Every structure is written in structure tokens, then in C-alpha cells.
Structure 1
Amino acid sequence: MSSRPLENKLKSIIDEIYNSQNFKQFQTFFENNYNQLLDLLCNITEIPSPTFFEDKKAEFVQKQMINYGLNNVSVDEQKNVIGRYLGSKSDKFIPIFAHIDTVFPIETELKVKKNNEIYSCPGIGDNSSSVAVMLMIIQAWKSNNYLPLFDVIFVANACEEGLGDLKGIKVFLEEYAVKFYPDIPPSAVLALDGTLGDIAHIGVGSKRIKLTIFSEGGHSWGNFGNENSIHILSKCISDISSINVPSDPKTTFNVGLITGGTSINTIASISSCFIDMRSIDQKELDNLENTILNIIKLNVNKTKSKFEIEYVGSRPSAFLPINHPLINLAILTGNKFDIKSFLRASSTDANIPLSKGIPALTIGAYDGSRAHTKDEYMVPSSLRKGILYVSLLLMSIIMWIEKN
């Protein structure tokens, strides 16, 4: 936590917002429209939205933003849905993100199953709950004619998951933010993703490569002795598996996919694998990358075969110091609703602004579990607390920025 004087200052900001007429109006609005929030959640969840194929969900979210009275709504080439909520002035701004893509293939059955206090469906928590909360906040603000101290940009962003490689937030910061706010970086960034109490302030960096081996190949009998790309790839993977990596700072690697060969009696001429490297420390991540590349070169260069490396993902490692006011605001705001906070490292949209020196956090807005599985579920009543938590935190961040 922060020093006592700073903590008292942050508590004062939170209390001022919490006791304000605006926040009381929002509380009433959320309570009166709780069933609408749940309907919205189900509608969002049941729209297929795998990474790179977010079109239908983007269209739905765009319509909702417009219906709620947000006038400055656009969809960029990355399929980010961007709603600009003008404040009393535009000398600074803060974007809030909730990604709309999921890890599930387009053909996945998406039908929300309701069982008392449990809603289950792929993607219902990660990240449909966050998108629903963000949209409902927009509606509450517009319905009560709320005027923030400065501009707030609501972004339902694409390409957060997997090989999407955080392209949605990357494009927003590189294009939209620069276009509308030249020479003014975001004062802070808030991303909605995860469960209640989660505060991701450390961005887990990652590098992902596709390694392909090209060999002579041939018939398993007639051309026995010719180089086999699978054998060479296997040797590379075996040596990679023996790499020692530090546990602190946590650093990991994984070979997640392997393809190659044409038949059991064919010497494979082409084979490939995908390698995932992660660390909370950029230096260790770079060291791991160099070690893996050297292993590949050493093994392949002993043969007549060739190799090709394609980078399919790169997420920078960065962090927000534990004593930063933004973290303390999130913890103290959670205390208002008896939410126990957990500081953690994760790979989220916050990675990108953090790597640019912009204060950023990723927080959760619901209770649930089994994300990234077909058994994913969430507790709908948790959104009563979650939406108030996100609202109070966002408004408190705005006031903190204005006062500093």
C-alpha cells in the first residue's frame, strides 16, 4: 500500500465520489436495470466472436453504444468499437477497454444455460461480462446526463486473445489516440478482464514463434537415410525442453502445436511447431529467446536441412510499481464493496500502455471460473457488485488525474 498521507488522500477521493449525487443516481440506475444487464450479457455471449472474426459482435456493440446515446461511435479496421464520451474539457483523456474476442472457434455452440445462480456458456465470463458492464455504464452515464471532468473513450477492442497479439489496443493507441489527441498520451488506461478482485499490474511479456524445418524427405524404404524434418524438429524440441529458466522472475516456455509429415511411410520433408515464451522480466524473455534460437541454429546447421522462423506474437513485459496510486485506488475502491484484492501478473491489454510508460491496470468485474473452457460459468448476481466497483473506480481515477 501507499504512504498514510497518500492513502488518506485517495480515500477522500473515493468517498467524495461514492457520496456524490451522480454515483447515487448510477446505483439506482443499475439496480433498476439489473435484468436488462443480464439480458445484455446473454445477447453478447451468444454472438460468435473468435479472434480475427469479431465482426458480428462489433456490429452489435456499436448499435448498443449508439442506442444508449453515445454520438461519437466508430469501428476501425481492426474491428475495435470506439465510443468517445466527451467531458467538460478535452485536454486529457482516459480509455477503458473490454475485449470482444474469444478463444472459441466459430462453430462453438453458444447458448447460455441458466441454473439458479449460475450462468454457463463459453465466453460468458471472459470477456462478455466485462463488455456488458462497460455498455451499461455508458447507458447509466447518458441516462443521467453525466459530464465527466474530461473525455472518456470506451473501447470494445478486438484481437486480445492468443494470436490476436493485443493488436486491438495497439492499433487504438497508435492510430485513434494519436488522431484525436495529438501530443497527449492517455492519462491512464483501465482494462476490464478477469474476475472480481483481480488486479493485474504486471504485464507478462511473451514471444511466439513458428519454427518450420525443410528437409529432403522421401520414401521410408527406398530413401532411407535421407534427412527427416520431424527427426530434426524433435531434436530441437528435446534440447529446448532441457533449458533451465528462473522461477523468479518467473519465466516459462512451451511447445504447444506440432505438425508435419504426410504418411507413416514417408520421410517428412516439412514439419513445424509453435513455441511460446513468457516472462515478467523483459531481459529474461530476451535471454530465453536467444537461447531457443541458438538451439535451433545449432541443430539444423549440423544437417543439410533448412529452417524458417516466423514471429506470430510479441507482447512486451512491463509493470506498474506496487505503490502506484492507481493500484491503491483499485484496492481501496474494492474495500468499499468488500472485495478482496489480489495483485497478479497476467498477459492483458494493459501490457501495451504499461510498456509505453502509461499507468494501466486490468481489473475483473464478475465472479466465475473455467475461462477458456466450454464449461465456463459466472455468477450473475456478482455483477451487482462488479458494476458498482468498476464505476466508482473509473470515476475516482478521473478525479485523481484531474487533481494531479
Structure 2
Amino acid sequence: MSVPQLPAVDSIITEAVAAVAASEKGRRALQIALDEVDRAMLEQIELCEIEAPTFAEEKRAARLAELLRAYGLKDVVIDPIGNVVGRRPGRGNGPVLALGAHMDSVFPAGTNVKVRREGNRYIAPGIGDNCTGLRTLLQILRMFEIAGIETEGDILFVGTVGEEGNGDIRGSKDLCNGKRHLDGFIAIDSTDVGRILRGATGSHRWRISVDGRGGHSYAKFGACPSAVHAICRAGAKIADFEVPKDPKTTFTIGTMKGGTSVNTIAAHAEVDVDMRSVDNDELLKLEARVLKAFEEAVAEENARWGIDGGEYELKLTTTQIGNRPAGMRPDSCPVLQTARAAQSQLGIELTSYVCSSTDANAPMSLGIPSTCLSTGGIGVNAHSLTEYFDMVDTHLGPQLIFLTAAALVGACGVKPVLPVREG
């Protein structure tokens, strides 16, 4: 994958990362990640085998909280929304950085999540997405604790709820809602350590329903508008929409259902619509056009049959079912720059500098310095029952995020490179 030509990383940041890596405690921490790959993998397996469907992450959350406490955090809470939040305090004169890995999986309760091993391959739904993130979160904590590294700023170790699907990154949104001060955020997700997210792809999702009385396809023809026809009218309009290629903006009617039988004028029809962009303004403009198209389509279907009020009139209902805000970070963002410097320090090539939809959407949309970094290993077939994880270079993710976090909050004699935000 091609990477855009980027400005050089600020020399102060490059030197800070190098100094952490060269320090006695920094070297020890990096070695711990290498020494503990088998231990960390066992934790990844253990957590995978605890069911955690979106909206039902409680059991996995309880175990994660237990492990965070066991590895040295005294201030660990499960907050009202269900996030596990553990604070590792610094000396009190630095920034606050959150490291967040989502706990939920896309698989419903009752799914067989028992992990099967074939050599260095581990096979189970959710083994990669995102139990590898939780494995990395715990490993980073042990690196700081075992190496005895003090930091200037605080680090929050967070397991978030509701990152997947209709969970709508609710855990990350709540973490960033202003109740806690945050100066930076790193989401831990996916496995490709060559990837850095520079932006958040926002998505707005709506369920659109059209309802009327309906009737017999022959007897009520001409007197009864069709909910299905109204949806089709809207679809025809939306299919011809032109949207920007830059910033990339997309739309799709993802699902459609309704009607009763082949010989019934439909009394109900509904669709789910997905709209995405890396630019919030473009996303909002597209959303307004889509919703207007459905309003017009219902009015046109009623007018086609001369319906203006009364029992046969079609009614429109719109329900938002997803709202992931968009956001872009400049190349000068200290979190992006520090992550690039950490990659270089570890000999990792930057192969992907892109936008995606992760827990980092919430902080990015608020202008908080943030990104999403990966865990090492190779994850394949995410969100499927055939998902598997290859245990290859799994130490690189913890090393990458450790170096990034340590330089951002200040450690091993290095001053923080992450500024403290106002407010």
C-alpha cells in the first residue's frame, strides 16, 4: 500500500523516542515484551474464551479489571457504561494519555469461542479482533511495571465497550465526554504494526421506515399507496447521488425488507442506510440529502394515488442507529509523529497511513491528539467464524505502543512530547 510523502518527524520527538529506547529501563521493558510472548498469548486465549458480545461484555470486563489490578494498578474501576479504566499515575506534572482496547466481539452469546491451536496458528471467533488488543494492553502495563518505569504524566489503561456494530463506539465516546481530562488517546486494534491511522472515517446510519394501511393488490389498486414503492422511489434518487472522492464520501442502502405477500400492496417497508466520510461537514450534507430523498419519495407515492391524509396515507419514520463522528489529524500531530518515530526506532516500515473507523473516532472528532496502533501478529478473517491469528512477531505491537506512550507522557529521563490541553 502506498504511503503519501510525509514531512520529517520533529527531531525533538525522534530524540525522545531514541532516548527512551536506549535507557536502561527502556531496554529492559522492550526485552520483557520479547521474553513474555508465550505468557501474553495465553492471556489472549483466556480472554477470547470469555464471551463478550456487544452490550454484554461484563464477564470479560471483570477478568480484565482483575488482571490490571494483579499487574500493579491500584485505581481500577468499571465505570457506569461498562468500560474498565485503570489509572497508572505519573509524577503529576505531565499529560494524560489513554490506551484503549475494545473488549466486545461481533459474535452473539452461545458462539463457540474455544480456541484451537495448529502450530503457531490460533483459531476461534474473536481471537484477533480484539483479544489481541487486550493482550497488548496488559503486556504494555507489565513492561512499565516490571521495568520500574516512572512517568511524568498519567496513563489510563482502558478496556472499552461497544466498539463493534451498533455498539457505535459508545465506550470510547463516554471516555471522551469531558468527565475525564485527556491529552491524548491511542486505540489498540488490528494487527499490522506498519499501519498508523491518521484519520477517522465517520459513519451515520439510519433505519428508515414507511408505514400505511396496505391492501389487496387488485381490489385496492389505485386507492392505496405502497410502502415498498415509496422506498424504491427513494432508492432510485439516492443511487444517482454524486459524492466527493476527496474527502472520500460513500453511501449504501445496506438492507431492505417489507411487504406481506406477492399479492399485497405493502403496508410496511424499511431500509438501513450507511453513509461514511472522513469529513464531518460532507457527512452531514450527505445525510441531509438522503433523509430529504425519503421525505420526497413518500410524498410522491402518496401523490401518485391522490392520497392527502386519511387512513391510507403513508407515514415516514427515521431512526438513527449509528453515529460515529469523523476527524482528521494533521501530520504534525504529536501522537502521529511519536508513533512514526517509534516505528523507525524498531525498524518497522510505515506501510499504511490511512483512515478507518475505530475507537479513535471519538477523540479525533474532538481534536484530541490520537491514532490507532496495532498489536503484532497476523489476524485473518475477522468477524467470521473462521477467524484465526498467527503468532508472528507479537512482541512488536507492545514494543511500538510502549515506546510511543513513554515518549508522549515522559519517562526514562525524557520530558513529555505530548502537550497538556487546556480545559
Above 0.5 in TM-score?
yes
Residue matched to 2:80: 77
After TM superposition, give the deviation of residue 201 of structure 1 in Å. 1.4
Residue matched to 1:180: none
Partner SS for 2:112: coil
Equivalent of 1:383 in 394, 400, 408: 394
Matches within 5 A, 1:289-308: 289-302=287-300, 303=302, 304-308=313-317
* Mapped pair 1:314 → 2:323: yes
Residue matched to 1:108: 111
Amino acid at match of 1:286: L
Matches within 5 A, 1:136-155: 136-155=139-158
Moved more, 325-334 or 299-308: 325-334
**Distance across 1 between alignment mates of 2:370 and 2:330:** 11
After TM superposition, give the deviation of residue 2 of structure 1 in Å. 6.8
Equivalent of 1:192 in 188, 195, 207: 188
Residue matched to 2:332: 323
* Mapped pair 1:285 → 2:295: no
Residue matched to 2:70: 67
Matches within 5 A, 1:341-380: 341=350, 342-366=352-376, 367-380=378-391
Which of the two has greater helix per residue? Answer: 1
Conserved 8 A contact 2:94-2:152: no
Conserved 8 A contact 1:213-1:271: yes
Residue matched to 2:310: none
Moved more, 151-160 or 329-338: 329-338
Segments of 5+ residues of structure 2 without an aligned counterpart are 303-312
Equivalent of 2:404 in 387, 393, 400: 393
Residue matched to 1:181: none
Conserved 8 A contact 2:97-2:405: no
* Mapped pair 1:51 → 2:51: no
Amino acid at match of 1:254: T
Residue matched to 2:416: 402
**Distance across 2 between alignment mates of 1:113 and 1:239:** 49
After TM superposition, give the deviation of residue 101 of structure 1 in Å. 1.1
Moved more, 280-289 or 74-83: 280-289
**Distance across 1 between alignment mates of 2:387 and 2:393:** 15
**Distance across 1 between alignment mates of 2:80 and 2:256:** 32
Moved more, 158-167 or 365-374: 365-374
**Distance across 2 between alignment mates of 1:372 and 1:338:** 30
After TM superposition, give the deviation of residue 131 of structure 1 in Å. 0.9
After TM superposition, give the deviation of residue 343 of structure 1 in Å. 0.5
After TM superposition, give the deviation of residue 158 of structure 1 in Å. 0.5
Partner SS for 2:64: helix
* Mapped pair 1:252 → 2:266: no
Percent identity, aligned pairs only, is: 29
Partner SS for 1:301: helix
Q: 1:401 to 1:277 in 2, by over 3 A?
A: farther
Q: Size of the alignment, in residue pairs?
A: 396
Conserved 8 A contact 2:123-2:388: yes
**Distance across 2 between alignment mates of 1:401 and 1:324:** 17
Amino acid at match of 2:107: F
After TM superposition, give the deviation of residue 295 of structure 1 in Å. 1.0
**Distance across 1 between alignment mates of 2:388 and 2:117:** 10
Moved more, 135-144 or 353-362: 135-144
Amino acid at match of 1:115: E
Amino acid at match of 2:199: I
Root-mean-square deviation (CA), in Å? Answer: 2.0
Segments of 5+ residues of structure 1 without an aligned counterpart are 178-184
Conserved 8 A contact 1:103-1:162: yes
- Scaled by the length of structure 1, the TM-score of the pair is 0.92
Matches within 5 A, 1:148-187: 148-174=151-177, 176-177=179-180, 185-187=181-183
After TM superposition, give the deviation of residue 27 of structure 1 in Å. 2.8
**Distance across 2 between alignment mates of 1:338 and 1:114:** 30
Amino acid at match of 1:219: H
Matches within 5 A, 1:194-273: 194=190, 195-225=192-222, 226-273=224-271
**Distance across 2 between alignment mates of 1:207 and 1:256:** 13
- Scaled by the length of structure 2, the TM-score of the pair is 0.88
Conserved 8 A contact 2:89-2:153: yes
After TM superposition, give the deviation of residue 202 of structure 1 in Å. 0.9
Conserved 8 A contact 1:205-1:315: yes
Amino acid at match of 1:331: R
